[in-house]
Amino acid sequence: MSVRNLHLKRLMFSIGSLIDLGQEATSSKDLSAKMKAALYVITGTLSVPTAALFVYHPVRKDLDLIIGKGTRDRNLQKIRLNAKTQHIKQFTMNDPHMLRDMADTAFFRHNQEAFAKLKAKVFLPLFAKEEFVGAITLGRKLGGIPYRQGEKDVLRIIAHQMAITLHNAHLFLELAKKAEENRRLYKNMQRIYHDTIQAFAAAIDAKDGYTKDHSYRVASYAVAIAKELGWKKKDVEGIYIAGLLHDIGKIIVDTSVIKKGQKLTAVEVNEIRKHPQVSYDILSKVKFPWKDIDFFVRHHHERIDGKGYPDALQETELSEGVKILTLVDAFDAMTTDRPYRDKLGLDETFEEVMKCCGTQFDVRITKTFFNLLLRELSGEVKRPQILPHLEHPDAGYFAETQSDSDM
């Protein structure tokens, strides 16, 4: 090959290298693979068997080795180059520095040992938009041939390209880190929000020892039905919250009325009947991320025959959520001890509910609920959602009746 031809070939080859580098920089590979490929482009272009790529850590003020090539020492991955701000100021941006010319600098003295391990001859600082982002060290060229001026020019262009790629990757990682942090904060806030609502529910139930955990059970039963009916996750969450807060209006009812063991007077009944309206008044002012919470709680004492309160709505006016809450609220009242009576067994509860099915309770919702309970009793359901809340469920008759009636 003539000298002229060789020059031309080299030029073509360098241009080809820059194209290779551009392709790698814009590829969809992860940063590490991208950087490795880019480093290989450099070593292949310049015939340098040993090279290393470092990423700058601005807090620690050092350069972490992320890719090493051509050295057999496994400990190389632990190499860090010290790069203080005053050192960085002495670097010429994206310009290859021959290490022998840096021998008098503090930067070289600090890192002399590492450079020896890396067999480094050239230090190439990477700057993107005047920000120091990393560096490349290059060893001796194959055969010990000196670096030519033309090769240094190619290195400058490559350094600029790699610096931008590193910088962009940093920005992306920062963004991903921030997004992750936001997600964590959101999760935390969501947990705090749920905990606060649970605390409210506990406070409501604490007015009366008999109704301890009532709201929690109502919420859990409601979720079980909603899931059976195929509700969306967000709506299931909503009915859970409504279940927890449905009795919040009871804070205005005198404790003596709630705890009264005898029949309530007309005035007392009137007072206790105000609680759905009060629950609504309180919750309608809260901007929940779930829909209809305020209406669910307002109507949880409505009936499908239109004889409920506070609005005496007709069946067609009652949402599925309301019908669920109405049933599970009554179910829990029946299956737990109350000041005025002992809890009912499952058989009695079933009979009671069936008596009111089609007048007080919606048929489809009732059927869904008892079918699920039946499956839980027979052990078909891996994670029961109703049974764990019932103490000593005596279900002999209930189970038989359920099978017979094919609900």
Partner 1 sequence: MSNFSLSSKSEQDIAIMEPKGYINDIGAETLELASEQFLGNGIKKLIVNFSGVQFINTIGLSIFLSMVQKTLEYHSLLCFTNMKKDHREIFEMAGLMKYVKVFKDENDAFSYLNRRS
Contact positions toward partner 1, by CB under 8 A?
A: 1, 6, 9-10, 13, 16-17, 20, 24, 33, 36-37, 40-41, 43-45, 47-50, 69-70, 72, 141-143, 145
CA gyration radius, the chain: 37
For the bound state, the minimum distance from the C-beta of residue 239 to partner 1, rounded and expressed in Å, comes to 48
Within 8 A by CB and 6+ apart from 266, the residues are: none
Supply 64's token pair.
């972490």
CB-hemisphere CA count at 13 Å for 391?
Answer: 8
Closer CB to partner 1, 31 or 202, in the complex:
31
Largest CA distance in the chain: 115
Q: How far is the CB of 48 from partner 1 (least distance, A)?
A: 8
Q: Least distance to partner 1 from the beta carbon of 151, Å?
A: 12
Complex with partner 1: residue 140 or 160, whichever CB lies closer: 140
What is the token pair recorded at 52? 């290393």
Count how many residues are written for the chain. 407
Of 22 and 306, which CB lies nearer to partner 1 in the complex structure? 22
CA pair distance 81, 125, nearest whole angstrom: 12
Number of H helices, E strands in the chain: 15, 6
* Nearest C-alpha neighbor of 10 from the set 61, 45, 34, 43: 45
DSSP assignment of 372-406, as one string? HHHHHHTT--SS-SSGGGSSS---HHHHHHHHHHT
Taking the least distance from each CB to partner 1, the nearer of 140 and 338 is 140
If the CB atoms of residues 36 and 217 are measured against partner 1, the closer one turns out to be 36
How many CB atoms lie under 10 A from the CB of residue 321? 26
Contact call for residues 368 and 228 (beta carbons, < 8 A): yes
Q: Output the smallest distance, CB 13 to partner 1, in A.
A: 6
Q: At its nearest, how many Å lie between partner 1 and the CB of residue 87?
A: 29
* Residue 138 or 322 with smaller CB distance to partner 1: 138
Q: Measured from the CB of residue 147, what is the shortest distance to partner 1 in angstroms?
A: 13
Choose among 273, 280, 213, 284: nearest CA to 246.
280
- Report in angstroms how near the CB of residue 142 gets to partner 1 at its nearest: 5
Give the nearest distance from C-beta 149 to partner 1 in angstroms: 17
* CA nearest neighbour of 153 among 312, 50, 57, 15: 15
Choose between 143 and 261: whose C-beta lies nearer to partner 1: 143
CB of 96 to partner 1, least distance (A): 17
Q: Which is nearer to partner 1, 44 or 358 (CB)?
A: 44
The single residue listed with the structure tokens 């010429």 is: 92
262, two tokens? 């005898």
Whether omega before 58 lies within 30 degrees of 0, making that bond cis, reads no
CA distance 405 to 57: 72
| Beta carbon nearer to partner 1, 43 or 326 | 43
